[in-house]
A and B are shown apart, each in its own frame.
Chain A
């Protein structure tokens, strides 16, 4: 008898009769093939297989045609290049039954379009790792930021450059947010999400190689469904 793959009479899928532990999830590969994996979002961002294209190499992501749900047309030929305005990549299942620390390597690549503002205004445009909990949207990502007309310019005298941005939003309003400038010279750009009990905080790697953390944010417990989605925050002189 066989579990996880139906090749002959008597075989069963894991989902049909088996029990999984906390922290595991059963994912279908085809109608006759499923598997069990950690409830985590880990990936090295390979080219994503299309749903219903069965692959059974056993290699994470490569052999998981139903793990990611894609909106828009992100270019996944060389890692995942996600467009702010049109693309979204979401995990097909919820993650983490308990405490965790998650680390993402991600960076700004390019932009199209323009941005203008009055003196003292700001803009942040980028792609963030987001999730919804307790009626709020939490997110952290890397943005292209523009600071208009400031005297002290954070990017070596330039008005725009890369920034980390984390935020907590509710509906269309943003409740909390903070940014950290990423100098042009910083090549190692990565951020973290950490949960302890019912609290979450965000971490950002600075140019000295140290982690800069947000305060702990009340988020509640429960599994999290992660997605990468574009985010735009405009600061019309209120900062």
Chain B
């Protein structure tokens, strides 16, 4: 309790203990009028799409993507396939708690997992292979494209590291998981190494 006495020479004998009820506190106006939380730039390792979901429902989601850094200045919310992504959760409701942001990378049917040309993945980039940009490719063609991507990075030398959000790496031997999203070729036995299905 704060105690202030204006004139101590004229005493007031006060032993009150007052009880006060506070019922509500409301901001009538505030500047700035919105808040946001922004993820770091996410490197997916190759060109992928993302699905972003914010909690609670109804909060505004903004995103931007690019295959190169720095990312564009504008938050255009353009759908697409990019290697680098950044997502922002925003609200102008004073009582909203920005609870969570979930980002799920994915490949749509027809997307080539081997493209994107990220440093170190050895891929040739998006070469506009069969099926690119048109309709739904057959399952057989999708399988071919997947295997193509694996064989594109065959001939792996020792100590070659492959990074990405991979759950599985296929190969004839010598690959060892050395990190959360990292696999290292342990010998020169080459053969394919690649992405599993997440």
Taking Cβ atoms with an 8 Å cutoff, the residues of A that contact B are 1-5, 9-10, 14, 17-24, 26, 35-38, 40-45, 56, 58-60, 63-64, 78-86, 89, 96-118, 120-123, 125-128, 130, 137, 139, 141-144, 148, 167, 169, 172-174, 177, 192, 228-239
Say yes or no: A230 contacts B1, CB within 8 Å.
yes
Complex: chain B residue closest to A100, CB-CB? B30
User: Which residues of chain B are near A37, meaning CB under 8 Å?
Assistant: 35, 96-98
Contact B23 A232 (CB under 8 A): no
Partner of A106, one of B13, B23, B29, B37: B23
Whole-angstrom CA separation of A64 from B98 in the bound complex: 12
What is the minimal beta-carbon distance from A146 to any residue of chain B, in angstroms? 8
Q: Could you tell me the distance between the alpha carbons of A109 and B94 in the complex, rounded to whole angstroms? A: 29
Q: Do A96 and B30 touch (CB < 8 A)? A: yes
Contacts of B28 in A (CB 8 A): 100-103, 192
Partner of B25, one of A45, A98, A238: A45
Asked if A125 meets B24 with Cβ closer than 8 Å, knowing A100-B29, A232-B3, A234-B4, the reply is no
Which residues of chain A come closer than 8 Å to B56, judged between CB atoms? 58
Which residue of A is nearest B4, CB measured?
Answer: A174
Residues in B whose Cβ lies below 8 Å from that of A58: 55-56, 97, 99
Can you pick out 12 interface pairs between chain A and chain B where the beta carbons lie within 8 Å of each other? A3-B37, A3-B39, A19-B40, A21-B34, A21-B35, A21-B37, A84-B1, A98-B31, A106-B21, A127-B20, A128-B2, A230-B1
Verify B27–A101 contact, CB threshold 8 A.
Answer: yes
Cβ contact of A102, chosen from B17, B25, B96, cutoff 8 A = B25
* B16 partner residues in chain A, CB cutoff 8 A: 84, 111-115, 123, 125, 144, 232
Measured in the bound complex, the distance between the Cα atoms of B8 and A198 in whole Å is: 33
Q: Which of B30-66 contact A (CB under 8 A)?
A: 30-32, 34-40, 42, 55-56
Tell me the count of chain B residues lying within 8 A, CB to CB, of chain A: 56
Query: Which residues of B in the span 3-20 have a Cβ within 8 Å of any Cβ on A?
Result: 3-20
Is A233 within 8 A of B4, CB to CB? yes
Selecting from B100-108, B137-145, B184-192, the interface stretch reads B100-108
Q: Is the CB of B2 within 8 A of A139?
A: yes
Secondary structure of the A side of the interface? Answer: strand
Q: A3-B100, A40-B27, A137-B2 are in contact. Are A18 and B94 (CB under 8 A)?
A: no
Given A14-B37, A45-B24, A102-B28, A127:B2 Cβ within 8 A: no
Set of chain B residues within 8 Å of A117, measured between Cβ atoms: 10-14
The answer to whether A173 touches B25 (Cβ under 8 A) is no
Contact B13 A116 (CB under 8 A): yes
5 A-B pairs closest in CB distance? A236-B10, A236-B7, A230-B1, A24-B35, A113-B15
CB-based contact A81/B19 at 8 Å: yes
Question: Is B180 on the interface with A (CB-CB < 8 A)?
Answer: yes
Contacts of A81 in B (CB 8 A): 19-21
Contact check, B27 vs A4: say whether CB atoms are below 8 A apart. Answer: no
Residues of A within 8 A of B4 (CB): 167, 169, 172-174, 177, 231-234
Q: Are B24 and A104 closer than 8 Å at their CB atoms?
A: yes
Q: How far is the CB of B92 from chain A (nearest CB, A)?
A: 9
